[in-house]
Amino acid sequence: MSNCSLKKVEYHHGVHNLDIKQSRLKINDSNKNDIFELIGPPSTKSTFDNDVYIYIERKTTSAKLSKLGKRKLIKNNVLVLEIDTKGILISKKFYDKEDMLKLKFDNNVTTINYTKKSFIYNFLSSVRQKIDDPLGKKRIKN
């Protein structure tokens, strides 16, 4: 009994406490060095007119035994930072689990448009797909 624990195991991916860390970043005041010191390197980086850094935090735990080993999503945070050519933070958007559920995706889009919005749209679409099917079982068809 000494090795048993009643506390659930939590699986963490990405930046720990992203919601707290992002609140310390100030638009038009923080720079790249401040961001790297506080949060570290981005999970995804894109370069258009300005640099776009995307940080993610995902925390899951094992669900009840009746759910047959499925994982329960505790946190799903995404931080999108836009940095100008001088290295200054000019835009900060933070999305949590509830914000992700409110995002509306248009399934009728068929054209390819290489803009900032399409990159962020594609990234958030892949995060949404992982939320809906974290183990990839829905994609397997019998």
Q: Give the total number of structural domains in the chain.
A: 1
Neighbours of 96 (CB within 10 A): 15
pLDDT of residue 12: 83
pLDDT of residue 29: 93
pLDDT of residue 142: 46
The stretches in the chain having pLDDT less than 50 are 142
* φ, ψ dihedrals at 67, nearest 5°: -90, 5
pLDDT of residue 44: 87
Whether residue 140 lies inside any domain: the answer is: no
Contact 86, 40 (CB under 8 A): no
Partner residues linked to 83 by β-bridges: 51, 89
pLDDT of residue 83: 93
Domain extent for 44: 10-132
Whether residue 141 lies inside any domain: the answer is: no
Contact 15, 39 (CB under 8 A): yes
Whether residue 1 lies inside any domain: the answer is: no
The pLDDT tens digits for 40-53 are 999 888 877 778 99
